[in-house]
Amino acid sequence: MAPSKRIVARVGELRELITFHNDRYFGDDDPEISDADFDELVRELRALEAEHPELAASRSVLDAPGAPVATTFAPVTHRLAMTSLDNAMDVDELRAWGDRVAKGLAGQTARFVCELKIDGLAVSIRFENGVLVQAATRGDGKVGEDVTANVRTISGVPVQLSKTSASPTATVLEVRGEVYMSKPAFERFRQEKLAENQVRVAAGKKPQPVPANPRNAGAGSLRQKDAAVTATRELSMWAYQLGEVQGGPAFTSHHDTLEYLQALGFPINPEVRIVDSLDEVVEFCAHWQEHRNELPYIIDGVVVKVDDLAQRERLGSTSKAPRWAIAVKFPPEERTTVLRDIKVSIGRTGRATPFAELEPVVVAGSTVSMATLHNREQVQLKDVRPGDTVVVRKAGDVIPEVVGPVLAKRPKDSQPWQFPTKCPCDLRSTLVQEQDVADTRCVEPECPHQRDQKIIHFTARGGMDIEGFGEKTVYKLSDAGILEDVGDIYSLTPEVLLAQGLGEVQSANLMQAIDASRSRALEKLLVALGIKHLGPAAAESLARRFGSLDAVASASVTDLAAIDGVGDVIAESVAKWFVDKRHKSIVTKLRKGGVRFDNVTVIDAPQTLAGKTLVVTGTLTKFGREEAERAIKDRGGKSAGSVSKKTFAVVVGNEPGASKVKKAEELGVPQIDEQAFEHVLATGELPE
């Protein structure tokens, strides 16, 4: 069937778009859309071309792996083309590749080398008689750019190859690898740029664009016309493939070549694995997809290569890519989308946090429509504005973040965003910028937004843990004027909940959950009240020492501050909380509502360890880790995480931490086993 007009038009448009973005990515190091968005365009075009082969007459768009060479660097013709790799987007596509390999090898089994797919810039470095003579980027795969001077500045790239006695040095050796900027190096670089921008902004100048991610920063740093600038950037390289080779040892496998390169002094990624089956390849991919964020550099997938070089010959290449390798791509963690608006949310302490309202976009598998912008300063430094197209990032479990704007897509009439001067609540009270800190606050005690957040905090897991009391219920009940503060929770009735539109079952469950919370431990109640500076550990100390909310409320600052883990700051904050008349009314409501104020497990263990600090390392047989720490605390002792000269003893279990044992030895701190630990608990003395 002939393609419809719409399809012909879409194919034309996709080709335009791909060419444009390809140029921006490879030619300018300033991509306007994320890799994932680009890949989606390519996939769509590929699919349409496959469906309508008559439209695929000029497929050059998809066949060119790179952009035409930028004019700022001398062109270098690769003697051996730098081909790209085919992609597998999921396990099925990976297995399909495995099947093709098996078929191509007619029954021979293949070993695979699994490598991380480093998200950087590919280079080919040429050595003649052991001396670095040329380095080039990939460019369009045939002709790249001469970046010899720049590559020479990268620490870790040998400029003179070490002579290994075991293997003769090749007369010509082309080493291919990925140049990248590590995450810590990028963070340092970004901080430097942000600090520079702060100075610029203070001087009334426009801030300069800050690279959005390590890939752009790395590519931009390598492609500097002045190599002295490259030298100031912390670039690194992993070598992963040979190009042209003349002379030198004969290799039979890919892993031999990697070992040879390592012996010559090239950095070889330590995570390379040789495996015997596709199942193990799948496992390797799954492992790194989950753990990618633990690496100090960015990877966007895994590259799988057939190890045996004779088998590679047999498999050969297509016009675009070798058949003996595949790039397994991970789901994207960065996407571009439109920032609809910037608003502020008010926290329970009144802090105003700007956040971005985004055109919904799927990032790392979930839909993102909001992202925090942290504070006033961050918005100013990133210079994101309503209407901007922005890069949104979500790494692992991390909450989504707006990385920065795509300046090329900024609307002409765009204005820098101004932090609001009024609280978004109905009272419209004035927001106050705090001195010395980047925070802006609503200081109105009656602010309904603060009230709602306080109630949400009270019902949350670390506090009274009232299941089913979600944010929506809180908003509904407080908007209706039923909840003025957390004290009102305990006078709720099923009738009130039903009248507010909650279902019968939901109301019944909620009433039950509220009832269960009446007997929460005192330390949970203290945390739930949201007293400034009072965290769970100090709350626990207070609960144990005073035994009831009333005793805590009537304690003096001096009494409070005398407790282990409670300093002057917390003591004053606690004392101040209880004198506020609003809070007094909350306490009264909670009491009337039947909330227990004295639910503390009383410890009657003898205080054998008062004033003594112990460190537990490794696993014990009779005690779990928390139990051991509890046993120490119950006896008045302190359980610490590191050894110092004040440590009374280190309890050494199975597989102890080497650094703790070493430190104990250095400082002469006694090391005791589990049996001796029991003796210490009982007597407070080390056994004879």
Interface ranges with ligand IVH (CB under 6 A): 83-85, 115, 117-118, 122, 178, 240-241, 303, 322, 325, 327
Give the three-class secondary structure for 321.
Answer: coil
Q: What is the spatial distance between Cα 49 and Cα 606, in angstroms, rounded to a whole number?
A: 80
Q: How far is the CB of 277 from ligand IVH (least distance, A)?
A: 20
Q: Which is nearer to ligand IVH, 115 or 444 (CB)?
A: 115
Q: Which is nearer to ligand IVH, 118 or 510 (CB)?
A: 118
Q: How far is the CB of 29 from ligand IVH (least distance, A)?
A: 14
Q: What is the spatial distance between Cα 236 and Cα 155, in angstroms, rounded to a whole number?
A: 7
- DSSP character for 146? B
Question: Which tokens sit at 71?
Answer: 């004019």
Which residues are catalytically annotated? 117
Q: Which is nearer to ligand IVH, 129 or 317 (CB)?
A: 317
Q: Which is nearer to ligand IVH, 45 or 325 (CB)?
A: 325
Q: Which is nearer to ligand IVH, 176 or 520 (CB)?
A: 176
Q: Which is nearer to ligand IVH, 21 or 117 (CB)?
A: 117
Q: How far is the CB of 275 from ligand IVH (least distance, A)?
A: 15
Q: Can you list the positions of beta strands (E) in 253-377?
A: 273-275, 299-306, 325-329, 334-346, 352-363, 366-372
- DSSP character for 648? S
Burial level of 636, CB count in 10 A (0-12/13-18/19+)?
middle
Whether the CB-CB separation of 583 and 640 falls below 8 Å is answered with no
Q: What is the spatial distance between Cα 679 and Cα 508, in angstroms, rounded to a whole number?
A: 51
Residue 509 amino acid letter: N
Q: How far is the CB of 238 from ligand IVH (least distance, A)?
A: 7
Q: How far is the CB of 531 from ligand IVH (least distance, A)?
A: 52
Q: How far is the CB of 288 from ligand IVH (least distance, A)?
A: 12
Q: How far is the CB of 84 from ligand IVH (least distance, A)?
A: 5
Q: What is the spatial distance between Cα 342 and Cα 207, in angstroms, rounded to a whole number?
A: 19
Find, among 440, 451, 435, 444, the residue nearest to 354 by Cα: 440
Q: What is the spatial distance between Cα 468 and Cα 451, in angstroms, rounded to a whole number?
A: 19
Q: How far is the CB of 194 from ligand IVH (least distance, A)?
A: 29
Length of the chain: 688
Longest dimension (CA), the chain: 94
Burial level of 546, CB count in 10 A (0-12/13-18/19+)?
buried
Q: Which is nearer to ligand IVH, 186 or 577 (CB)?
A: 186
Q: Which residues pair with 135 in a beta bridge?
A: 125
How would you classify residue 417: left for phi > 0, otherwise alpha for psi between -120 and 50, otherwise beta?
A: beta
Q: Which is nearer to ligand IVH, 18 or 325 (CB)?
A: 325
Q: Which is nearer to ligand IVH, 113 or 361 (CB)?
A: 113
Q: What is the spatial distance between Cα 543 and Cα 597, in angstroms, rounded to a whole number?
A: 10
**Residue nearest ligand IVH by beta-carbon distance:** 122
Q: What is the spatial distance between Cα 183 and Cα 668, in angstroms, rounded to a whole number?
A: 39
Q: Which is nearer to ligand IVH, 114 or 528 (CB)?
A: 114
Q: How far is the CB of 315 from ligand IVH (least distance, A)?
A: 12
Q: What is the spatial distance between Cα 550 and Cα 541, in angstroms, rounded to a whole number?
A: 15
Q: What is the spatial distance between Cα 232 and Cα 356, in angstroms, rounded to a whole number?
A: 34
Q: How far is the CB of 631 from ligand IVH (least distance, A)?
A: 50
Q: What is the spatial distance between Cα 362 and Cα 40, in angstroms, rounded to a whole number?
A: 12
Whether the CB-CB separation of 306 and 101 falls below 8 Å is answered with yes
Q: How many CA atoms lie within 13 A of 88 on its CB side?
A: 24
Q: Which is nearer to ligand IVH, 124 or 478 (CB)?
A: 124
Q: How far is the CB of 85 from ligand IVH (least distance, A)?
A: 4
How would you classify residue 387: left for phi > 0, otherwise alpha for psi between -120 and 50, otherwise beta?
A: left
Find, among 153, 81, 547, 494, the residue nearest to 319 by Cα: 81
Task: Name residue, tokens 């960065």.
Answer: 334
Q: What is the spatial distance between Cα 251 and Cα 255, in angstroms, rounded to a whole number?
A: 9
Q: Which residues pair with 241 in a beta bridge?
A: 176
Q: Which is nearer to ligand IVH, 197 or 311 (CB)?
A: 311
Q: How far is the CB of 241 from ligand IVH (least distance, A)?
A: 5
Cα dihedral value 241, 244, 249, 255, nearest 10: 10
Give the three-class secondary structure for 265.
Answer: coil
Tell me which H or E stretch contains 609: none
Burial level of 52, CB count in 10 A (0-12/13-18/19+)?
middle
Q: Which residues pair with 126 in a beta bridge?
A: 134, 174
